[in-house]
Each structure stands twice: as C-alpha cells, then as structure tokens.
C-alpha cells in the first residue's frame, strides 16, 4: 500500500521502539552523572579526612613547639655568651617560627635583652637587619625602638653609631609628621656633636633644630632662642664675629622683656645670650634671677647646671675665684643623681673647676678635677685642655715626670687637632719646657722653649707679654748653662728691651748679659760688671716656673 502525502501531512512517523530508546539513554546519563558526583564527593572527603592529623600527631607537634620555645627562653635568659650565640645563629635557631611578623618580634626581644646587658656590639648586625626589614614604611613603634638603640650606643661611648641612629630616627619622625619627636632627636644630635670636632655638622644640626622649633610657635620660643645662642657661640669660636652677633641679637629679640619673662629657664637662656653679646652686668643679674627661680625638677635641672657654670665664668672674669668655685660646686650638686657618670657635662664641669682651682693656687685640688676630666673625656681638643691643666698642676706640685707626661700629651693633641691655635701651642710648649727643667733635661727644655718662642713671635703684638718674657728668660738661662753664649746674649737683650726700668729683675738680667759678653770676649765691659758676671746655680731659676 502506498502512502500519500495526505495520509501524514507530509511528515515521517517514527517507529514506537525509537522513543523508548531515547528515553532509556536519558535515564542512563542521569544515573551515570549521579554516580560520578557521589564518587567525587567520597574521594574528596577521604582526602580531607586523611589530611587532618590525628590527636597523637597534634600532641606531638605541640610538644615540639613547646620544646623549641623552652630552648629559646632558656638561651635568652641564660648567660650573655649563650644569648650572643643565639643571636649569631638566629637563622638556624629560629627557623621553626614560620610567621614573619612573629619572627621579627622575637628577634627584637633578643636584641632588647642584649641592650639591657649593655652588649650593643653583639647586636649591631641584628638591629641593622631589623631596621632594614621595617624601613620601607617607617612606623612610630620601630622609630621609637631605633631611639633605644641610639641611647644604648651613646651610653656605651660610641657617638658615631649613636648619631647615625638619632639622625635616622629624626628623618623617620619627620616623614611621619611627629614634630616634637623629631626635635627630640635633633637635640640629641646637637648634644653629641657638641662633644666632637665637627663644627660643620653641628652648625647644620643647630640650624635644622632652630627651624623646627619655629614651627612650634610660642611653645618653641625658648628652644629656638637657646639654639640661636649655641649657633652664636659656635660661630664665635670659628672667628665669625659678625654672624655670631647676629644670632645673639636674634635670640635677644625673642626675649619679650622682664614682664613677659616668668620662666627661670628663659632667664637662664637669655642671660647666657646677654653674656655672649658682651652685656655681662645685665647677664649676671638675669642669670642669678633665673637660678633662684628654678624648681628642683628634671625639666629645670639642665638650665640650673648651665646657669651656674655661666655664673662661674662671669665670676672668674671679675677675679672672684671663691664665688666661681661656689657656683661650680653647686652645679656639681645639681647634677649629682640626675646625670649618668659618663655624661659629657661632667667632663666640662671638672675641667672648668680644675682651672679655677689653679687660679686659686690650689694645684692638688686642680689635679684631682683634671684627672676626672681626662678619665671621662674622649674628644681630642677638650682632652688637650684637660691634659694641659693636669701638667701645670703637677709642675706646681713639683711632680716633674707626671707633668712631662701630661704636657707631652697636650702638646701632641694640640699640634694634631688644633694646629691653627698658635697661642695655645705657645702656652703648652712653654709649660712643657718647664716640666723638662724640673726633670733636669736641659736639651729638651731648650728645644721646647725655642718652639714656644717661635709661636709667640708668630703672634706678634698679640702675644701675651708676660708669657713671652718668661719664655725668653727660660731660653736665656738654658743657653747660658749650655755655654751657648751668643744665643743667651740675644735672649737677654730682647728681654731687657721689653722689661720696664722699674722692674727689680732688670738688674739681674743686665748682670747675666755682662756674663755672656765676658764669655764672648766682648770689649768695653767695666770691671765692676765683669766681677758680677758669674753663672748662678740652677736652683736660682725658680722664676721660670711661675
């Protein structure tokens, strides 16, 4: 039978079994997907379960961590050598700490233990590594920790390392906008640089400190004035009197007059500015008011000690050495218990007091103070001054060997670090010649007196006449004893020419000149003068030791 298009509207009619075949395929696919999903879940769950440690494994891991921690704590709390060894081997010993932040804190704790034991050198590499690690984005916490390292370096006598960390901390605080903390670091830099022979670095630090103090407004007025005073003093020591005076005037310009000046610290600060500006009478009055109005607080202690030392300087200028010593011993009492034994203040105080004791003709007390200053001092120029004071004290005490040793040190330090201070070189060379005299070393005394005279001659009219006269006299005596008659004659003639007619020593000088002329066979010498021309024994040369 034929099928026509009219029978099925032109479409093909599938067989019934084909429909069931399609339905069966769909069911099989769905069942297969379900089975696959189930097996995948079982597999994942098994893997998760196998990765979870058992209770025994957890306990073993905890015990291992506790052992590591116990070993670490034992090393950190044990003797210094064990702690230092732990720090040196920290990469191996602390490898069990996986968290970087925890590791950094543990390492800092180790470094802090070293600081507390004053073992800063053993931890320098560690601190550098820690600060480098946290330096990309400085924080207030790590910058404060940097200050701790700087203080430790300063306390242990390494100003170069301390300055490096104070400067870095200052830069960090500046970046963080923490002005008062930045100023604190600048003040520490100024304090350290003041004890070193680096005037350019000190000037830069002072100028930066002055600028930052200006940003504090009224609360920074006193700090700015004090900084300007220090700048003025620094430039004055460099011979820059004009700029120095300008800084003093700026400091005085911040003084709002007696009515607005209530703080004793302000009175001290501006009193020092007045003294450096040459207004000594006004300075003394203001300094006394300031010292009397200060309280016994840590904040006022620094101003008290500085004011008392400045008053002592003014008393010395007036020739009142008793008053100067009273101020200096009072300054000693003000600093006692407030400053550590190695603070630079003590070296300055002992040196200043030693020189006043010398002016009082108290060489034994002076020597004690100079000994303390030498023991604490490390800055070469200040050390030269302390050695000079010690040498001159020993000369007055008749201790020639000790005097020679101290003055040799002073002379060497001055030639090395203060070669342009001709007056200082002349003074020390003359004192060294006196020490050689005491020891009976005529050859060395003649040489050093000759060097002293060379320095005095370079000073010209600025040379102190009394020191020049004593040097000429010492050279004349020394050359005469060595029978160097022509040299002795030259020195006696120079000395007589500068000695007033009324000076009682003039007659003895003329007698010794006649002795030289007689030895040289110079004509036209009167018999009376010739009879007097005898070389006196060495014991008569006490005038050279004045």
Q: What is the pLDDT of residue 32?
A: 56
Confidence of residue 281 (pLDDT cuts 50, 70, 90): very high
CA 455, CA 432: separation in Å to the nearest integer?
14
Best CA proximity match to 326, nearest among 347, 341, 311: 311
Higher pLDDT, residue 185 or 67:
185
Asked if residues 339 and 350 have their Cβ atoms less than 8 Å apart, the reply is no
- Judge whether residue 312 has pLDDT over 80: yes
Distance, in Å, from the CA atom of 449 to the CA atom of 432, rounded to the nearest integer, reads: 8
Q: Cα–Cα distance between 509 and 529 in angstroms, integer?
A: 12
Residue 380, pLDDT score: 86
- Residue 542's pLDDT is 36
Q: What is the mean pLDDT of residues 251-259?
A: 63
| Helical (H) or strand (E) element with 265 | helix 264-276
Confidence of residue 95 (pLDDT cuts 50, 70, 90): confident
> At 500, is the secondary structure helix, strand, or coil?
coil
Which range (50-54, 141-145, 179-183, 463-467) has the least confidence?
50-54
Question: How many other C-beta atoms lie within 10 A of the C-beta of residue 470?
Answer: 21
Give per-residue pLDDT as tens, 156-189: 777 888 898 899 999 999 999 999 999 999 989 9
**Residue 264: closest CA among 229, 221, 217, 300:** 300
Do the Cβ atoms of 320 and 337 come closer than 8 Å?
A: no
Top pLDDT among 467 and 11 is at: 467
Query: Interior CA angle at 240 toward 234 and 241, to 5°?
Result: 95
For residues 456 and 451, what is the distance between their CA atoms, to the nearest angstrom?
9
Q: Which structure tokens are listed for 255?
A: 């003084």
Phi, psi of 244 (to 5 degrees): -60, -50
**Cα(121)–Cα(395) distance, integer angstroms:** 41
Cα gap 103→95, rounded to integer Å:
9
Residue 352 pLDDT: 95
Lowest model confidence (mean pLDDT) among 202-211, 305-314, 332-341, 396-405: 332-341
Q: So what's the pLDDT on residue 178?
A: 92
Per residue in 486-505, pLDDT (tens digit) is: 999 999 999 999 999 888 88
pLDDT of residue 535: 36
Predicted confidence at residue 296, as pLDDT, reads 66
- Helix-then-strand count for the chain, H and E: 26, 0
Q: What pLDDT is stored for residue 322 in this prediction?
A: 96
For residue 347, CA distances in Å to 119, 195, 338, 339, 403 come to 25, 10, 15, 12, 20
Q: Mean pLDDT over all residues of the chain?
A: 79
Q: Is 13 a residue whose pLDDT tops 80? A: no
DSSP label at 161? Answer: H
pLDDT classification of 53: cutoffs 50, 70, 90: low
Give 387-421 pLDDT, tens digit per residue.
Answer: 999 999 999 999 999 999 999 999 999 999 889 99
Secondary structure letter of residue 536 according to DSSP: P
Tokens coding 57: 């494994």
Alpha-carbon gap, residue 183 to 344, rounded angstroms: 20
Contacts with 469 (C-beta within 8 Å, 6 or more apart), sequence order = 495, 498, 499
Q: What is the pLDDT of residues 362-389, one digit of tens each?
A: 999 999 999 999 998 878 888 999 999 9
Task: Report the distance separating Cα 424 and Cα 386, nearest Å.
Answer: 13
Residue 28 pLDDT: 58
Question: Which pLDDT score, from 0 to 100, does residue 83 have?
Answer: 74
């Amino acid at each position: 039978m034929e099928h026509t298009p009219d029978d099925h509207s032109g479409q093909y009619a599938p067989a019934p079994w084909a429909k069931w075949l399609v339905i069966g395929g769909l069911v099989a696919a769905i069942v297969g997907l379900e089975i696959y999903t189930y097996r995948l879940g079982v597999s994942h769950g098994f893997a998760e379960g196998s990765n979870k440690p058992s209770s025994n494994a957890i306990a073993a891991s905890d015990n291992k961590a506790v052992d590591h921690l116990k070993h670490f704590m034992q090393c950190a709390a044990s003797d210094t050598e064990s702690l230092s060894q732990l720090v040196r081997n920290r990469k191996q010993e602390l490898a069990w700490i996986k968290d970087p932040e925890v590791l950094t804190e543990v390492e800092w704790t180790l470094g802090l233990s070293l600081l507390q034991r004053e073992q800063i050198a053993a931890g320098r590499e560690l601190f550098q590594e820690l600060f480098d690690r946290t330096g990309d984005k400085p924080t207030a916490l790590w910058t404060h920790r940097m200050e701790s390292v700087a203080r430790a370096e300063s306390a242990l006598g390494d100003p170069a390392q301390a300055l490096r960390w104070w400067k870095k901390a200052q830069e960090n605080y500046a970046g963080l906008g923490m002005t008062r903390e930045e100023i604190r670091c600048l003040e520490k830099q100024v304090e350290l640089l003041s004890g070193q022979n680096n005037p350019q670095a000190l000037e830069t630090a002072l100028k930066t400190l002055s600028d930052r103090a200006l940003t504090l407004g009224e609360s920074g007025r006193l700090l700015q004035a004090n900084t300007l005073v220090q700048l003025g003093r620094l430039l004055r020591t460099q011979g820059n009197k004009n700029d120095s005076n300008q800084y003093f005037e700026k400091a005085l310009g911040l003084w709002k007059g007696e009515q607005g000046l209530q703080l004793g610290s302000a009175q001290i600060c501006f009193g020092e500015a007045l003294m450096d500006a040459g207004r000594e009478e006004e300075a003394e009055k203001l300094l006394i008011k300031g010292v009397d109005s200060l309280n016994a607080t840590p904040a006022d202690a620094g101003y008290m000690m500085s004011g008392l030392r400045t008053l002592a300087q003014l008393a010395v200028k007036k020739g009142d050495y008793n008053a100067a010593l009273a101020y200096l011993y009072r300054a000693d009492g003000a600093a006692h218990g407030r400053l550590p034994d190695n603070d630079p203040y003590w070296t300055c105080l002992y040196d200043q007091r030693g020189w006043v004791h010398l002016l009082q003709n108290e060489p034994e007390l002076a020597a004690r103070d100079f000994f303390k200053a030498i023991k604490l001092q490390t800055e070469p120029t200040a050390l030269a001054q302390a050695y000079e004071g010690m040498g001159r004290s020993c000369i007055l005490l008749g201790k020639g060997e000790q005097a020679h040793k101290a003055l040799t040190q002073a002379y060497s330090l001055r030639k090395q670090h203060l070669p342009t201070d001709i007056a200082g070189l002349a003074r020390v060379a003359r004192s060294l010649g006196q020490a050689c005299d005491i020891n009976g070393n005529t050859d060395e005394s003649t040489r050093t007196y000759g060097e002293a005279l060379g320095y005095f001659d370079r000073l010209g009219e600025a040379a102190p006449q009394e020191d020049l006269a004593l040097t000429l006299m010492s050279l004349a005596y020394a050359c005469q004893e060595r029978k160097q008659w022509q040299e002795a004659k030259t020195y006696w003639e120079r000395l007589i020419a500068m000695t007033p007619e009324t000076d009682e020593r003039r007659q003895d000088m003329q007698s010794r000149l006649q002795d030289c002329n007689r030895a040289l066979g110079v004509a036209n010498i009167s018999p009376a003068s010739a009879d007097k021309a005898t070389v006196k024994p060495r014991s008569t040369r006490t005038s050279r030791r004045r």
